[in-house]
Structure 1
């Protein structure tokens, strides 16, 4: 995830989700990753430099790699209707507490929480979208009521609880 300020983004993920910093992949005071190699390997536009990279872990779940770039072309944060990866969805055990932590950390919640749809519309299930301080769309969702998986589904949706 590319952010304008890695330290500020780290504080947001720590405060909102209890993230821990594992290490800086590319320290801020180290040499930038730039030139023909990174441009070809990573699909960067000409002149783009990676100036800082950090790896976080979110609870007992995924790792999140943060990037800060300078130079080159850069677009604003994706909207849900844009093509490609548009948001990060995170399961939360306690929707009310997660919303409070998200807001206290500087995020802006959109309307909700709202019921989940179709197979996910069970008692107690809910979701809400919000924007991180730099604009990335993040979905908080909880489905303690379970998911009604179609008969014969090849796998079930991940859940933190059996």
Structure 2
């Protein structure tokens, strides 16, 4: 018997320029809570060849702080503050690689308001979901950018998703 060892998403990791500012953003925008600091900002920096190899960092990168946040439901958010000789801007949705994560919300207008009050910038007002498998009364989304440049989607799906008419599988929803 072949047992699938995968249980589900544990956390996402985001590198930020200022871990305290990013923490405040997640608290203000999403009600996040600090679980723990793996590497406190006031502590010793983490750097060296072993670290470069394990995390696949550009040599000379210094890990200044690491903090795990909890959202009400779903995976954790692990924030990294690093300084290095080569750092790039965050990716856009058209770039290769992990380009956004989505947060399920009950009241998208209130979520947009909190996101913006926390310092984020929404690209548009909430839009109806347009993929046929996701359309439904009140089902909507919008993309926004955090103060440090990462992309977050807010999504609300109060109506059943039409894909369920043709599938026994269920999309995870907190």
TM range (shorter): over 0.9
1:101-140 equivalence runs, <5 A = 101-116=114-129, 117-140=131-154
- Runs (5+) with no aligned partner, structure 1: none
Deviation at 1:29, TM superposition (A): 1.7
Which of these residues, 82, 90, 95, is aligned with residue 103 of structure 2?
90
Q: Please, what TM-score do these two structures have when normalized by structure 2? A: 0.88
Q: State the match for 2:10 in structure 1.
A: none
Q: Please, what TM-score do these two structures have when normalized by structure 1? A: 0.94
In structure 2, what is the Cα distance between the partners aligned to 1:13 and 1:158?
A: 22
Q: State the match for 2:47 in structure 1.
A: 34
Which of these residues, 40, 45, 64, is aligned with residue 58 of structure 2?
45
| Counterpart secondary structure, 1:118 | coil
Superimposed CA distance per residue, residues 7-27 of structure 1 (whole angstroms, 9 cap, x where no aligned partner) = 100110000000000111101
- Runs (5+) with no aligned partner, structure 2: 1-13
Q: State the match for 1:74 in structure 2.
A: 87
Superimposed CA distance per residue, residues 63-110 of structure 1 (whole angstroms, 9 cap, x where no aligned partner) = 100000012311001100000101121101110110110011110001
In structure 2, what is the Cα distance between the partners aligned to 1:46 and 1:72?
A: 8
Deviation at 1:149, TM superposition (A): 2.0
Tell me if the contact between 2:164 and 2:170 (Cα under 8 Å) persists in the aligned partners.
no
Tell me if the contact between 2:104 and 2:155 (Cα under 8 Å) persists in the aligned partners.
yes
Q: What is the number of equivalent residue pairs in this alignment?
A: 160
Q: State the match for 2:162 in structure 1.
A: 148
